[in-house]
Structure 1
């Protein structure tokens, strides 16, 4: 994968001895770490046309990959002072799991795109590039 500074790789590794199922994609919100009100968080576009049971299998010892591009068109605004972190929940199937928070760092945020979980990074990038649907 080309090193593109607006992209973030999300990985979920199954360290258990049995398979587990994730939702199609991680739950991602870009927001302000100091805000108690998450209503202004930015949610990335996802690939459309999803149906059926929302589960991506992760076999024992395997890793699932998803890619988030914060500014895929390169035309976002400058660093927004209201957006300071990326919040990631590995799966909506795991509501009791801890949401992981990552500093946003510098750079701009345009219309972010998020791909589905995939078995490899290249496939995760391709999935992200096809994101065209707003999350519900």
Structure 2
């Protein structure tokens, strides 16, 4: 994991969508599982077993990431745009990257705060792709 950096940021101009960027800072190529392991929860909760997992786009192949390049996955927290019926108390995205089939330990999970009032309802997560636009298309194709 030391040759990877992970960031999750709100996608500009797209309500409820976040971009997960995994950058290979190493000197050689690596491969990632088809998607990051992602869940959404309350950072203050002792019990994380009730965290919400997004519906995943279909695909199982690993995603190659050349040295110095990034892979992108996009999550839509609330694809329907609902303002009611959303999950209360969700304030972070938790991301675990699986590099080269190593089944990374949970201690390598990265946590990213969501803004106050973030709405989460039936989230969808796309596959890793080489560009944000391709990652958005993958997320959009995830089942409802």
Q: Partners in 2 of 1:121 and 1:61 — Cα distance?
A: 16
Gaps of at least 5 residues in structure 1 are: none
2:37 alignment partner in structure 1 = 27
Match of 2:27, SS state, is: coil
1:18 is aligned, of 28, 43, 46, to 28
For 2:108, what is the secondary structure of its paired residue? coil
**2:7 maps to which residue?**
none
Aligned to 1:125: 136
Q: For this pair of structures, how many residues does the alignment match?
A: 130
Note if contact 1:77-1:110 (Cα within 8 Å) is conserved in structure 2.
no
Between 1 and 2, higher relative CO (CA 8 Å, sep ≥ 6) is seen in 1
8 Å contact kept, 2:86–2:121: no
* Equivalence for 1:111: 122
Scaled by the length of structure 1, the TM-score of the pair is 0.85
Question: Equivalent residue for 1:86?
Answer: 93
Instruction: Tell me the distance in 1 between the aligned counterparts of 2:118 and 2:93.
Output: 13
